[in-house]
Amino acid sequence: MRSLRCGMFVAPCLVFALSGCRGMSSTPLPATGRAPAAAPDSGASIAHVILMIQENRTFNDLFATFPGAIGTTTGKMLVLRGGKYVQESVNLTKTDLEETVNLAHLYVGYRKAYDNGEMDGFSLIKFTRTGEYEGTKPYRYVDPSQIGPYWSIASRWGLAEKMFQTQGSDSFTAHQDLIRGDTFINSKASLIDPPTSPFAWGCDATPGAKTSLITKSLKYLSKQGPFPCSDKFPDYGSNGYQTLRDLLDAKQVSWKYYAPRFQKGQPNGLWNAFDMIAPVRYGPEWKHNISSPETNILSNIKNGKLPAMSWVIPDAQNSDHPGYSKKDTGPSWVASVVNAVGESKYWDSTVVIVVWDDWGGFYDSVPPPFVDDEGGIGFRVPMLVISPYVKIGRGSKGGYISKTVYQFGSIVRFIEDVWGLGRLGTTDSTCKSISDMFDFNQRPRKFTKIPAEYGRSFFLHQKPSGLPVDTE
C-alpha cells in the first residue's frame, strides 16, 4: 500500500487516507463480454475518449495568472548566504513558450525541488549534462499571449488545477502511468527515470539496456532494473504487467495509439509507451493499433473512423518541449484536434483530455499532498478537458476549474468507467476519477471553435522532425 503524508489539501487527503494510495492488488476485476457505449456513472453519452499528451510543463508555468486558478508570479528559492542556504522570495520571469533551455527533471531533481514540502529547492537542481546549478532558470512562467489556445480552452471548457504527476520523474515513467496507472514491476519496486538506451524506451532498446528502480522504502537503484520490455520483468502476478490495452481488448473496445513514425535505431524510437509492452510490440497490434504519423487522427476524425479510445503523441516540434521549435505550434496542434472533433459528428459523444506528462523542471508553488512508496506523487501539471458535458463554470465564457486532487490514475479510472472495463488494480483503484468535471445530465453544450494561428492543413503538410519528443 502507498504510504501517506497528507499536505495542504485536507479533504482530498482524507479520501486517500481512507482508501489507501495504491491498489491493494494487481489483479484486475473481471472484464468479459462487449462493453456498452459508456458506464452509467461516467455518462451514457460518451463513446470516444481522446487523450492528448503534451510535454514538460508545470501547472504554474502555463497558468500562473489564469483567473480563479492557483498560480503565482513569485517563488521560493534557496540561496547560499553566510555559508548556509536560506529561503528567499524570487520574482518569476515571463518568457515565450519556446526557449533553448532544457531543464533537468529526473527523480533526484524532484526530491531536491520538493525539499520536504517547502518547494524551494529548484535552484539547487543541476543540469544533467554540465552539472552546474540551474539557479533562477526554473523560475519562470509562459506569457499568456504565447498559449492563447490553451487559455481559450480553459476559459470555455474544463481546467484541473490540482492534477499531479503520478511519479516525480520524467516522461518515460509518466507515459507508462498514462496507459496503466503506475510502474510497479513486482511487489518491491517500480520503474523510474529513463532506461539506459539512446534510441528506444522499450523492447527495441539497445541490448543490455537497464532501467532504474525506486523501492518501497524510497531507495533509488540506479541502472539496477531489468531490460525495459515487459516480458523481462520479474513476476508481477498471474496477470502480468497489464495496461488499458488488456482491458479494452477484453471488452472489444477499439483503440489506437497515434504517434510519430517509429524508426528502430533512430532517436524518435524513444517515443512510444507501448514499445515496452511485449504483447503489443511483438503482436499484430503493433501494426494495427499503433498509428503513424500522429496526424492520422485528423484524417480518422474527418473520415468517420475514430476509434473509441485514442492516445495522441505529438511530433517533438509541436510538443511544448523547450528547445525544439522557434514557433509556438504546440497550442495550435492541440486546437487542431479539438476543432476537428468539435466540427465533426463526434462532438456530442467525445471527451478530449489534454495533459502535460511531467513537470519539465519548472517551478510550481503547490506541494504534492502526500508522499508515497513509488517516487511520488509528483508535481502539478496542467490538464484541460473538452466535452459538451463539461460542467458550466463561473467564468464569463463558462469555463470550469476543478479543485479536486487528481493524478494520472484518475484519467485511467475515467477511461475504465466509460466502457465498464473493470480495474487494473494500480492507482486507478484509489484515485478519484475526473468524472466530477462533468454533468452528464446537462444539455450538451455547443462547440465554439478554438482560435489558433496554425490549422489542420499546416500539420498535415508539416515535415516530421524525426526528433524524440523528450530524452528524459
Domain chopping of the chain, boundaries: 10-71+142-461
Cα(251)–Cα(253) distance, rounded to whole angstroms? 5
**Cell for 398?**
463558462
CB count in 10 Å sphere of residue 382: 25
Residues 95/143, Cβ–Cβ less than 8 Å: yes
Written as one letter, the residue type at 180 is R
Task: Give the pLDDT mean for 130-149.
Answer: 94
Q: Are 357 and 55 in contact (CB under 8 A)?
A: yes
What are the residues facing 406 on neighbouring strands?
163
DSSP classification of residue 118: T
On the question of pLDDT at 264 being above 80, the answer is no
Distance of CA 112 to the CA centre of its chain: 21
pLDDT at 141 over 90: yes
The half-sphere exposure of 422 on its side-chain side, counting CA atoms within 13 A, is 21
List pLDDT tens digits, range 32-67: 222 333 444 444 589 999 999 999 999 999 999 999
Q: In a 3-state reduction of DSSP, which class is residue 51?
A: strand
pLDDT of residue 236: 63
Q: How far apart are CA 390 and CA 408, in angstroms?
A: 19
Rounding to the nearest 10 degrees, give the CA dihedral for residues 228, 232, 236, 238.
130
**Which pLDDT does position 3 carry in this prediction?**
36
The CATH architecture that domain 10-71+142-461 belongs to is 3-Layer(aba) Sandwich (3.40)
State the burial class of residue 126 (Cβ atoms within 10 Å of its Cβ: 0-12, 13-18, 19+). Answer: middle
User: Residues 100-131: pLDDT tens digits?
Assistant: 788 999 999 999 999 999 999 999 999 988 88
Cβ atoms of residues 467 and 324 within 8 Å: yes
Q: What are phi and psi of 139, to 5 degrees?
A: -90, 80
**Of 397, 334, 471, which Cα lies nearest the Cα of 56?**
471
CA separation, residue 293 to residues 116, 265, 304, 313, 314 (Å): 42, 18, 18, 10, 9
Number of C-alpha atoms within 13 angstroms, CB side, residue 64? 25
Q: How far apart are CA 21 and CA 373, in angstroms?
A: 9
Query: For a pLDDT cut of 90, what percent of the chain falls above it?
Result: 76
Cell triple for residue 1? 500500500
C-alpha–C-alpha distance, residues 263 and 261, integer Å: 6
How confident is residue 325, by pLDDT bands cut at 50, 70 and 90? low
**Per-residue pLDDT tens over the stretch 371-413:** 888 899 999 999 999 999 999 998 789 999 999 999 999 999 9
How many Cα atoms are found within 13 Å in the side-chain-facing hemisphere of 403? 9
**Residue pair 149/454 in contact by the 8 Å Cβ criterion:** no
Measured between alpha carbons, how far is residue 243 from residues 94, 145, 197, 413, 416 in Å? Answer: 39, 38, 23, 12, 11
pTM: 0.91
Q: How confident is the model at residue 8 (pLDDT cuts 50, 70, 90)?
A: very low
- 280: closest CA among 166, 136, 180? 180
Asked, as a colleague might, if the bond just before 40 is cis with ω within 30 of 0, I would say no
